[in-house]
């Protein structure tokens, strides 16, 4: 993808606050050449039933070095983040039950991302580097799980492998540390690894078709423009088409990337979880978020929604559990929007989905829903309404709605 294309679509890579300056993962031909070489090495070791941990770590550090080779500022920010996160992880490991250690470690783990997002709203992107969003998710996850007693011990080398694993470095999917470490230390037979390798190659090929054929074709059709001088019906229909083109492009581009990231992970013996599961078959907005960017929505569910709900119930902030769930959805999705960026389109996107989830939670408590939820006509209508809401959300996310509101 050329520089002009990347500039036009920088909002499509909301998961990464900063541009890649040397080699874009899963986009540049040079990356695929090097990935092929790295996979060949992994395949030789795996088929010989040798462990892949240290080879994977060396390969990850090599690819990350290439990523930041010509950008000293990003490299310095990354090294600072890595060193400080390692120190905070060591601190929380020594005092896992200390509330102050936990709060300090959590605050300082989130601090670089917060600074990056706030400064990014002013086109500065201080402390930012490619992949900061996803690395922050992983580093934060470890801090929380150590404090909660879910992780009792994690060696420095395991932590480093988890944080810098290159197939998912820039844009996920977001793996879980315990599952990752289990795969990292798994002793696989030749046949078992051969199965992972074959599946990994198929996933990479499928991802390339998604991203480089289907998404590229839709992108050529995608022509965002403002309100014209034709009749109301014609102009409205054009905007609907633009919203659907953007949503389909976004899906095939990001799902294609996610498939390739999964495939590369499998080749290194790591079964990175899937990120999409037929999201356009969702029959309601809750079902959609169980199918779209699954690792992000599940991460927010486990580490934001559930913790907020426990806090609200403990301190009796609301009289009804329904209100707790509804406010939890609002907090969850507003945070998701802010994580993408502090611009109006992302914040409105988060607010929109928070309202939809809160409304869906209330609707699913009604007698009408319980009486008809399994009926074919109801599921068909629910699917149709859900898809319109989903693609309207994409129009918010892309900035299409805000551009039209501003007359652009």
Residue 247: C-alpha distances to residues 295, 349, 363 (Å):
19, 13, 26
CA atoms within 13 A on the CB side of 250: 24
Query: 66 near 291, Cβ under 8 Å?
Result: no
Residue 395: C-alpha distances to residues 43, 56, 176, 240 (Å):
43, 39, 31, 9
- Quick one: which of 75, 1, 297, 85 has its CA closest to 173? 297
Residues serving a catalytic function are 340
- Quick one: which of 194, 161, 155 has its CA closest to 45? 194
List helix spans (H) across 212-365: 216-221, 232-267, 285-289, 294-300, 306-314, 321-340, 344-363
d(CA 167, CA 42): 13
CA atoms within 13 A on the CB side of 169: 28
Residue 197: C-alpha distances to residues 43, 207, 258, 389 (Å):
7, 15, 17, 39
d(CA 202, CA 237): 38
Query: 129 near 18, Cβ under 8 Å?
Result: yes
d(CA 159, CA 396): 37
Residue 2: C-alpha distances to residues 6, 7, 256, 258 (Å):
6, 9, 18, 21
Which residues fall within 8 angstroms of residue 223, CB to CB, at 6 or more apart? 242
Query: 314 near 290, Cβ under 8 Å?
Result: no
């Amino acid at each position: 993808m050329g520089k002009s294309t990347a500039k036009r679509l920088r909002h499509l890579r909301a998961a990464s606050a900063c541009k890649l300056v040397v080699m874009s993962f899963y986009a540049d031909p040079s990356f695929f050449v090097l990935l092929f070489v790295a996979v060949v090495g992994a395949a030789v070791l795996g088929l010989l039933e040798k462990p892949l941990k240290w080879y994977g770590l060396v390969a990850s550090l090599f690819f990350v070095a290439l990523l930041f080779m010509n950008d000293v500022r990003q490299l310095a920010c990354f090294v600072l983040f890595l060193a400080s996160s390692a120190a905070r992880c060591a601190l929380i490991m020594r005092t896992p039950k200390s509330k102050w250690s936990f709060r300090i470690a959590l605050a300082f783990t989130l601090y670089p991302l917060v600074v990056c997002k706030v400064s990014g709203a002013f086109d500065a992107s201080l402390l930012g580097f490619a992949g900061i969003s996803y690395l922050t998710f992983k580093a934060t996850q470890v801090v929380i799980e150590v404090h909660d007693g879910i992780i009792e011990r994690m060696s420095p080398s395991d932590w480093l492998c988890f944080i810098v694993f290159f197939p998912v470095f820039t844009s996920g999917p977001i793996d879980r540390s315990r599952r990752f470490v289990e795969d990292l230390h798994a002793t696989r037979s030749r046949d078992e690894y051969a199965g992972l390798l074959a599946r990994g190659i198929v996933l990479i090929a499928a991802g390339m078709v998604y991203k480089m054929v289907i998404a590229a074709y839709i992108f050529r059709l995608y022509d965002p423009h403002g309100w014209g001088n034709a009749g109301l019906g014609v102009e409205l229909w054009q905007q609907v088409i633009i919203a659907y083109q953007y949503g389909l492009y976004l899906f095939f581009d990001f799902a294609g990337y996610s498939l390739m990231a999964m495939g590369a992970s499998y080749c290194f013996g790591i079964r990175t979880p899937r990120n999409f599961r037929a999201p356009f078959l969702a029959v309601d907005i809750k079902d959609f978020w169980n199918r779209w960017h699954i690792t992000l929505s599940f991460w927010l569910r486990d580490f934001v929604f559930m913790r907020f709900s426990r806090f609200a119930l403990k301190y009796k902030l609301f009289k009804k559990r329904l209100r707790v769930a509804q406010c939890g959805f609002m907090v969850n999705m507003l945070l998701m929007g802010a994580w993408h960026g502090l611009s109006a389109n992302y914040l409105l996107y988060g607010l929109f989905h928070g309202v939809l989830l809160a409304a869906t939670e209330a609707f699913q408590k009604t007698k009408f829903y319980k009486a008809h939820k399994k009926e074919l006509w109801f599921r068909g209508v629910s699917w149709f309404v859900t898809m319109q809401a989903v693609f309207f959300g994409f129009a918010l996310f892309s900035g299409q709605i805000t551009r039209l509101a501003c007359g652009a």
